[in-house]
Structure 1
Amino acid sequence: VHFVHDTQKVNRKNTVTATIDYKFEDGKTAQPTVTQTKHFSEDGTKDLVTGEITWDEATPQKFEDVATKSIVGYTPDKDNVAGQTVKFGDPDINVTVRYIANAQKAKITYIDDTTKTNLDSKDASGKFGQTITFETAPTAEIANYEKKGYVFVSNTFDNQKYQANDSNNVFYVHLKHGTVTVTTENPQTPNTPINPDPQSPKYPKDISNTNSDVKRTIDYKFKDGKPAQPTVNDSLHFERTVVIDKVTGDVSSDTWTQSQDFNDIQTPAIQGYTPDKTVVSDKNIGHDHQDIIEHVVYSPDAQHMTITYVDDTAGKTLHTDKPDGVSDQDAKYTTSNTIKQYTDLHYKLVSDSTKGQDLIFDHDDNVNQTYY
């Protein structure tokens, strides 16, 4: 008796998956995962006596190539993931593409706005996305410049991160020369350092004199040198302002209070006298003007007197004297000699309005002195 093995048709299926992960260096996801799947199906014949199965091998399949997408500031370690050919039963494929941050450079420049020159520049290097750090922090650099007399103006650096384009990693710090103003209220000591920096320039030697007074004396005298009026004293006050460049120690400006005028002083009137100045006027006086001494001299005015000798019996004038002089001057005249001449001629003295005294010219310019 002959037998053959009975058989049975069978089928099997298989899936092979290719997974591409995109990661940054720190493990964070850089791009969405790409997944491809290949499905296989094989037919077979099963020997029901032995249980063995003979499979008709499925055709191998190829995964598609996957180009790596670019990310600004990063370079992937694989520009392309080539599609592999797989067959039924092959293991899943897992590929990781890593994005490496690009090397970047940064630069910060310190600018002197006063002289329009660059003071210094510092370079730094790192990777895209990292916080930029310079060997010496700009805040410390600025503090050092301030110790040298600079004044902070502006700073474009604020702990930024590296950008992909190095032209965006360029920063500027602007500074200008500080100044110190020396006045009477804000004096400074010559030859002492202006700034805390050891190499600081020193204050100039000639800044001590910050104020000045020009004095005026008005002296009133008669022509004979005797005092005529109380002396008048007044003065003008000037102040100096010196602006010094704290960085160089140079004097930026040195100014005094502008020229001033003394008040006009009207000369007091003294009856019977004429001053050689009716007003004392001193104008446009600068801070370096010498002290002023003004002399006002009073000269006596011309004065006149008349001494008339009268014969009361005959009702007629016997004689008239008209001495001339100036105010308050001794006329060097008395009536005694002339009276004696007339009494020797048998006249009898009735009255003498001079009372026999030496006559002194008065200082009334409007009325002549008259005696009988």
Structure 2
Amino acid sequence: SSSAVKAETTSASSSSAVKAETTSASSSSAVKAETTSASSSSAAKANITSVKTRQNVTKISYNTLLQQLRTSKALAASEDTLTHVTKDNFLDYFSLNGSASYDKNSGVVTITPNRNNQVGNFSLNSKIDMNKSFTLTGQVKLGSDPNGADGIGFAFHSGNTTDMGNAGGNLGIGGLQDAIGFKLDTWNNGYQAPSSDKDGSEILPTDSNGFGWNKDSMNAPYGTFVNTSNQEVKTQDGSMVQRWWAQDTGNPQALSKADIDGKFHNFEVNYDGTTRTLTVSYTQASGKVLTWITTVDSSYQAMSMIISASTGGAKNLQQFKIDDFNFQQAATVNVKYVDIQGNQIAQGIVSYPDGTNVNGTYVTTQLDIPNYTFIKMSDGSLESTGSLTKPGDNGTVIYVYAPAYTATSKTVNETIHYVDQDGKAVAASHIAEQITFLTVTNPVDGSAVVYYSNITTDVSLDKETGAPTATGWTKATSADFSEVANPVVKGYTITSNDAPNSDLKSVAVQTVYINSSDLDFTVVYTKDAPTVTTENKTVNETIHYVYKDGTTAHDDYVATPVEFTRQVSTDAVTGEKTYGSWSADQSFAAVTSPAIKGYTPDQAEIG
């Protein structure tokens, strides 16, 4: 008499199993399905029966139910592939970080001890297949101080399983990529603009002030879903920076200060992989169960999970106690973008063209990161594209980058001119081997290293270290031009030298720096005075007395010689001589020829 199907869903905190019963009756074509949760069972059964509706009744078509029945065997089989986490194998599937510690006997994770300025979290080592349902049941303890801080955050995100969100007002959710988070917030936070101008991926998880946080949507304590989105956020100094910015979403609900009573309270996360509905429930100290529901977009195929808490100037003992966690491991890889020291510098997403399944493929991309240049894949890294060989974490693709070092060079010259007083060159100018300064700048931190060389001007850099690759470079911020002896120029004397710290013998060592201008010095030579000498000339007078046949008639007369002088000026450079006038004329005295008996001189007197 009926073609409608009634489905009833009930929830009990003591149960994580699903039972479905289907029976048939010859008198009826109606089908009623009931789903309940019971801790005593994890098997899936199909049976048609009639049940009373406790909460909501949903009508679905008969064809839809038949399709569900056809897949019931597959669903039952898939149960065997679920990963079951309890307190006994917790550390096989989760990693503890920061202040977090684990007690295997009780199944309690102490995320933060009751101390100030603590940051702790635990993260799932593999991603969750978001096409499959999962359930996490346990209890949370928010501490015993109603005025304590900060609370506990739960997040599912698209990043690496090793990614950590930012602490403080972000409760470990801000900073995670495309996160769908939930928080039990115990501290009122106003808007905090980032104090750091670095991109979010470079901010340490503990540096909440550097990262910044959004304003709470209501007064603490309260619970709400939190999503992150990739935003440009204005810093305290007015610059814009990238952040995966966490913002409250959905319907925040107030908790009571009485919930911060030092006791554990039931906490459950249920996800329906078919409807992609995420339901979070929390049992207050009063016994009231608060429920939050959101829908996970179909684009989320595999997600990492992290649970975190932090304290600051206020504190609390914040703990999580696991009862049971059942989920389907996705076959995934992580991708990291790091500098040569291994520090994260960017975040990226892995794509899975065939889904996050064993024997499927993964694809990562080399990013263009401002101020960095890609240099290599890290040792031990997976290939950038490859196959998925097992469920869970298949490894990590690691791209290594170095700062995109920039090289700027400047050449400094030294020239020395040798001139006379009129500026005319008296010797060839001295041109020193030029000194080239090379400044290598790290654009990431703004640091710079200076080198110099008088051998090479090749400014090629090693991509990894930023050091010059050509030989001949010396790391120093200054360099010296050597001392230069002034040349000796014939006929000249050096009278001035304008080079600093120098004398008339040489141009001293000159130290130059990256900001120095070319050096240009002048050494002035003055022409030497000509050499003046005195030239002497002696004039003699001799009178010979002879007979006509030439024989000697009388002794010769030798007068006293007459001396003449003149000055000679010799040019110091050319050697050219300039002659002065001789001294005044002089006369020899008159000489009477001697008397020789019988002879008469042809000249009675020489005048």
Fold conserved between structures, TM > 0.5: no
TM-score, length-normalised on structure 2?
0.22
TM-score, length-normalised on structure 1?
0.33
